[in-house]
Chain A
Amino acid sequence: MPTKNSLDYAYYPGCSLHASAGEYDLSTRKLFKALGIGLTEVPDWFCCGATPAHNVDELLSLSLCAKNLELAEQVEGDLAVACAACFSRLKFTQHTLEENSTKRKQVETAIDAPVKLDGKVKHLLEILARDLGLERLAASVKKPLSGLKVACYYGCLLTRPPDVPNLDCIEAPTIMEDVLGAVGAETVAWSHRMECCGANFTLSRPGVVIQLTNAILESAKAAGADCVMVGCPLCHGNLDIRQKEIEGVYKTTYNMPVFYLTQLVGLAAGLSADQLGLDALIVNPLPLLKEKHLL
């Protein structure tokens, strides 16, 4: 796949990255700087509606994203998105408004502006694996993650539904494994990499989330993984913040650090624990990284 020469992007962090997933934002900015990829934050961006809005009001959820897409037009370059939920909603909006002219007109009335759908929305994984390219990514490695066994966790939103995000094969994606392979980590084959973690039910139905998330952690552990890598703040919250609670409910021990993709790739690029916000993780990753001589 041809890689891109100009690597400047408009950047849509999304609300989580300004709150609970601050370390995802921090590590993204540091990593992209280290790799020579330009990120300019979209001026005046606001919430995409995430998982709640489209359940309540379709027009609202489409309009929130359409307005953000319009704002992103002010910045040169494709739109880089870190959060899988934002990525899904923005892509879904583009897809829906392209297919349905009636909804498009309604949205245009709501945001009082013409809808622009030409701009490309890209998840950070695409930028690393395709625009920068695996070869250049591999060349940037200062500290290969050799010996680290990672369970790549895609969750539900990165590849689904069919024909919308078009990030990778919807049932058997490999983009996370490709990226980690390029930076020298070992990825494990496991059964639950595409299961749902329960997402924002973490607040309203924690029992459901604990059950789902336990199955994911159990499967990752059975496959021999040292840690899990994610590309979504919601998945991260459920796997990392809830982990102690899950261990209590199921009377088991996982002690399974959960990294953002930018943290692991950043580690390989030679960034420090502070630059990557590793101290913000609830399951302490430092003993594991020290054991593997990565810190």
Chain B
Amino acid sequence: MSRIGVFICHCGENISRTVDVERVAAQVGKLPGVAFSTDYKYMCSDPGQNLLKKAIQEQKLSHIVVAACSPRMHERTFRKAVEAAGLNPFLCEMANIREHCSWVHEDKEEATAKAIEIVGMMVERVKKNRVLPTITVPVTKRSLVIGGGIAGIQAALDIADCGHEVILVEREPSIGGHMAQLSETFPTLDCSQCIMTPKMVDVANHPKITLYTWSEVELVEGYIGNFQVTIRRKARSVDEDKCTGCGVCMEKCPIKKIPNKFDCNLGMRPAIYVPFPQAVPNTPVIDRANCTKFKTGKCGLCQKVCGPGAIDYEQEDTLVVEPVGAIVVATGFDLYTIDEKPKGSAIKGYGEFGHGKIPDVIDGMTFERLASASGPTGGKILRPSDGKEPKQIVFIQCIGSRAREKGISYCSKVCCMYTAKHTMLYHHKVHDGQAYVFFMDARTPGKNYDEFWRRSIEEEEAVYIRGMVSRLYQKGDKIVVMGSDIAVGVQVEIEADMVVLATAVQPQKGADSLAQKLGISYDKYNFYSEAHAKLRPVECATAGIYLAGACQGPKDIPDAVSQASAAAAKVMTLFAKDKLEREPIVARVKEGGCVGCFACKKVCAYGAVEEKEIRDRQGNLIKVVAYVNPGVCGGCGTCQATCPSKSVELDGYTDEQIVAMIEAL
């Protein structure tokens, strides 16, 4: 016979204002099986928990129901208290009489009656609860970091400095990401390369970091503490061990005119290339689509001139499998390209701004390359069309961002600051030039950010015009920019030499397919979703996977670096223990009833269902049944609902428990 204890919480006045808690305690005390019932002002407080523990010992209670707030709030608290008093924590259930009752009702009589019913249901349910042992799984103390931008680099260095091995995977031939492309950084105007490249070198030299560039994550299997990651190392056509990075191959390559993506297609590169001189690793890649050797079989010049014999045309993609315990996703962002509307995208085009049609309408990243000392113009601001210095330059903010009717409602966060920076860089380089900025709002929250923006106006002579541009068009060699100045209430027309569009920050292309491989969720824009917007901002809902940088939402460098270090700290917390404890809310197969149809396997979102052979003592196969790997099971219960023979049960949520609750009503 169970001896159930029921504990009714007042939650200050949150519950007791609308529910007569004393009456609830008295009523449920009469239910069969209930040995003890009481109420208390703050059950979650230290004295409240002590009251619970004391009652378990004194009254020899076997099962506990705490009637209070949502289990999402305090289930863990009370189960811990129950465990401390010597009971299995899964013999404790919570009845939610706050969110489900007192907060949504006004009539005290009715709310009290409902609270009695809710508690009564949980009393019947808890009678059917079983003792569940905590599941422990081993932890592989190695981690994978996906993406070698500033966020990925920071996370990898932090984890590696703590003594744990890191596998850093980067899709491009070099690490560095977008930060390596930037000229100078706000709000201090220090050179991006100067602060970035030493960190890139640290990564390359770190004994605990294995760097896979020109590589992509192909497959992710397993679960927290025990992932198996398959990485595709794309054929580089250059042997990384032999190559010394001398660069003779790049000098001799006869194909020289391939637009360099790193320079936003302004500069040219050969078919065998490193994206930029400070690349890490400093090992070239052959762009097979543009290489004469791969296209026609002739040439082979790079192989002839390579002293160490590193060029290998026969090289093929290889797959590497790495066991890791934790994954940091740091795949970063890309800029919205407005000259083409991506197929199947809800995001509508921006034909009125002529990007992609008018050569001197460029985006913010292209301006960064123009302003960069290592860029295609050596840091001179020159027009892509005719190489002339623009004397009138117009910056337009919020292109794509904050435009619900165009399909993106969010603020890209970094554009106000980088546009202010652009006006300064322009003013430093073109002394007789004039910069105009069309803006909706200036959003500059951040340390020394607003001061920086004010400086662009007050000291660097940028003219800020509050209002949006309706359209622009080419007229001779000028670009006519038509917009409104809503502060003055007039239409403005500027004949500009160059226009820079602050296009929206979007997740990297393919972010959704990577999320599907990882089993993590993402929003309608393909930004990855954190487990809790405020309290778990660097963790995914999928255990063991963490987020860093702009793959989660638009971020500037300080934010990306902070989040990367936070993600690294979470990984280190996980690695602090040798074994990981998991909640035993997992599905269990009743092998006697299972007919091996594997309907459960088809619906399992976690890939937790395996096939298990049942053999007799002589080793003859009797049947094949489903087996749920408790380490992988996410406890969603889909298999339980699907099983046609009712042979799968989710521990803690069995049919028996649910039916008991319904019958109690």
Q: Which residues of A contact B (CB under 8 A)?
A: 162, 169, 171-172, 189, 191-192, 219, 222
Contacts and interface: CB of A to CB of B under 8 A. Distances in A.
19 contacts: A162-B405, A169-B348, A169-B349, A169-B351, A171-B349, A171-B350, A171-B351, A171-B352, A172-B349, A172-B351, A172-B352, A189-B357, A191-B473, A191-B474, A191-B475, A191-B480, A192-B473, A219-B473, A222-B475
A161 to B, nearest CB: 10
A162 B350 CA distance: 13
B396 to A, nearest CB: 15
Nearest to A161: B405
A189 B473 CA distance: 11
Contacts of A172: 349, 351-352
Interface string B471-488: 001110000100000000
Interface string B386-427: 000000000000000000010000000000000000000000
Given A171-B349, A171-B351, 8 more contacts: A162-B405, A171-B350, A171-B352, A172-B351, A191-B473, A191-B474, A191-B475, A191-B480
- The DSSP consensus for interface residues of chain A is loop
Contacts of B349: 169, 171-172
Nearest to B482: A195
B469 to A, nearest CB: 13
| 7 shortest interchain CB distances as A-B pairs | A172-B351, A191-B473, A171-B351, A171-B352, A162-B405, A172-B349, A191-B474
Contacts of B350: 171
A79 B637 CA distance: 54
Interface in B439-484: 473-475, 480
Interface in B368-382: none
A162 B404 CA distance: 12
A189 B357 CA distance: 10
Nearest to B474: A191
A8 to B, nearest CB: 34
Interface of B: 348-352, 357, 405, 473-475, 480
Contacts of A189: 357
A193 B351 CA distance: 12
Contacts of A171: 349-352
A136 B351 CA distance: 29
Contacts of A162: 405
Contacts of B475: 191, 222
Contacts of A191: 473-475, 480
Contacts of B480: 191
A192 B473 CA distance: 8
B114 to A, nearest CB: 37
Contacts of A192: 473
Nearest to B351: A172
A280 B473 CA distance: 33
A92 B544 CA distance: 53
A192 B474 CA distance: 10
A162 B474 CA distance: 25
A172 B352 CA distance: 7
Nearest to A190: B473
A171 B351 CA distance: 5
A222 B480 CA distance: 15
Nearest to B473: A191
Contacts of B357: 189
A57 to B, nearest CB: 28
A40 B196 CA distance: 72
A131 B350 CA distance: 28
Contacts of A169: 348-349, 351
A172 B349 CA distance: 8
A172 B357 CA distance: 12
Nearest to A173: B351
A192 B357 CA distance: 15
Nearest to A192: B473
A172 B350 CA distance: 8
Contacts of B348: 169
A169 B352 CA distance: 11
- Give the most central of A189, A191, A222: most B CB within 10 Å: A191
A219 B480 CA distance: 12
A249 to B, nearest CB: 20
A219 B405 CA distance: 29
B664 to A, nearest CB: 45
A171 B474 CA distance: 16
A88 B350 CA distance: 23
A162 B351 CA distance: 14
A105 B480 CA distance: 46
A175 to B, nearest CB: 14
A294 to B, nearest CB: 30
Contacts of B474: 191
Nearest to A218: B475
Contacts of B405: 162
A189 B405 CA distance: 26
A52 B480 CA distance: 32
A171 B357 CA distance: 14
A37 B648 CA distance: 64
Nearest to B350: A171
Contacts of A219: 473
Nearest to B354: A191
A212 to B, nearest CB: 13
B286 to A, nearest CB: 38
The residue in A171, A189, A192 that gathers the most chain B C-beta atoms within 10 A of its C-beta is A171
A222 to B, nearest CB: 8
A191 B354 CA distance: 10
B356 to A, nearest CB: 11
A171 B473 CA distance: 13
A73 to B, nearest CB: 33
Nearest to A223: B474
B354 to A, nearest CB: 9
A9 to B, nearest CB: 30
A252 to B, nearest CB: 16
A219 B349 CA distance: 23
B182 to A, nearest CB: 30
A171 B338 CA distance: 12
A219 B350 CA distance: 21
Nearest to A193: B473
A222 B352 CA distance: 19
A162 B407 CA distance: 13
A253 to B, nearest CB: 20
B238 to A, nearest CB: 43
